[in-house]
Amino acid sequence: MEELTQTQLSSTVVWQSEDALSYLYHLDALDFLRSIPSDSVDCIWTDPPYLLSNDGFTCVAGKRVKVNKGEWDRSQGIEADHQFNTDWLSECYRVLKPAGTIWITGTLHVYLSVGMALLQLGYRILNDITWEKPNPPPNLGCRCFTHSTETVLWATKAPKGSKHKYTFHYQEMRQEAGGKQMKSVWKIAPAGRDEKQFGKHPTQKPVALIDRCIRASTNKEDLVVDPFAGSGATGVACLRTGRRFLLNEREPEYVELTRRRINAELKMGENQTPGVWVDEEVASWKSLAKSSHEQVRLLESKRTVDYVAKREVTAN
């Protein structure tokens, strides 16, 4: 816990839980990971850019739309993309505890590179979970099968036969699978409207998917890290399962979305610890609000601040 304090002191913390055990950062993923002490993290759950925004088309709600998710999702070429994956996965390896595990989502655009980097860096791959989406969008080109799955690679830093044993709650998973060994194909619906009520993220993952990974591979109060947090789904899963977290996101609008979502989640859970805002950052968000849409969002944020303040007064 003493080591973690170093991270807590970072000026880029934009949100922290009142118990000062969970944080949200606004940094480039590599800078964020570099600020974390070695061998200090129990689990990493992350959904990195798939680097598939190549001006192609897909189908959303029956309409033909550009596949582009944002500049952050553009490929820089095979070599550069693999170097990027190797760099952040190398930092993940350093920060994980000796028996720590990492979960990484991906489609064919990224999991081959991520899998190769995992092997090159000395991780041991434990599973390639297939997340099956029940209602995938149709394939517009009709020149191949419609994509209906994503792969979630699960790996550990502990070599085979090492004294360090990674956590796997086998019995809990077996029970959840109706008394049989849980298979590596998981049919889970994509994030629904309720998970998007605080704003949308183009690649948002369902909390149920993250929740299962976290419950399978960590214990209560373990520390979970997500360097590419997006809409903060990992934070929500951690709050629901009683795990501590360090989230990071580089795009300001998604930092804001995450903060709103986490604060709302804290209000909903009776036994949760409310979050607090870091004042300087709130001021900088206000100056960022140029469009009326952003102003509405900031107003909502302000309500959350008021709520937290009220709770603090009541608690005193």
- When the beta carbons of 101 and 204 are compared against ligand SAM, the nearer one is 204
Between strands 149-156 and 96-106, the pairing is antiparallel
- Phi-psi region for residue 178, left (φ > 0), alpha (ψ -120 to 50) or beta? left
Which residue, 25 or 93, is less far from ligand SAM as judged by CB? 25
Closest CA to 96 of 41, 46, 34: 41
> Shortest approach of ligand SAM to residue 88 CB, angstroms?
8
Distance, CA of 88 to CA of 299 (rounded, Å): 35
- Select from 20, 18, 5, 25 the least CA-distant residue to 246: 25
Distance from C-alpha of 180 to C-alpha of 177, rounded to nearest angstrom:
6
Length of the chain: 316
Residues near ligand SAM, by CB under 6 A? 28-29, 47, 49, 72, 201, 203-205, 228, 230-231, 233, 249-251, 254
Residue found under tokens 């303040």: 309
Residue placing its CB nearer to ligand SAM in the complex, 191 or 308? 191
Closest-approach residue to ligand SAM (CB) = 230
Closest approach of ligand SAM to the CB of residue 309, in Å: 28
At 2 the three-state DSSP class reads helix
In the complex, least distance from residue 60 CB atom to ligand SAM, rounded to whole angstroms: 16
Do residues 257 and 199 touch, judged by C-beta distance below 8 A? yes
What is the C-alpha separation between 145 and 139, in angstroms, rounded? Answer: 7
Q: Which residues, in sequence order, are bridge partners of residue 156?
A: 101, 124
Minimum CB separation from ligand SAM for residue 130, in Å? 18
Q: Report the run of H or E that residue 113 belongs to, with start and end.
A: helix 111-121
**Closest distance between ligand SAM and the C-beta of residue 308, in Å?**
23
Query: Could you tell me the CA-to-CA distances from 167 to 37, 97, 242 in Å, in that order?
Result: 21, 12, 16
| Residue 232 Cβ vs ligand SAM, minimum distance, rounded to whole Å | 7
Nearer to ligand SAM, 100 or 206 (CB): 206
37/252 with CB nearer ligand SAM = 252
Which residue, 230 or 275, has its beta carbon nearer to ligand SAM? 230
Answer whether 176's CB lies under 8 Å from 182's CB.
yes
Q: Which amino acid is it at 163?
A: K
In this complex, which beta carbon is closest to ligand SAM, that of residue 69 or of residue 124? 69
φ and ψ at 109, to 5 degrees? -70, -25
Nearer to ligand SAM, 73 or 158 (CB): 73
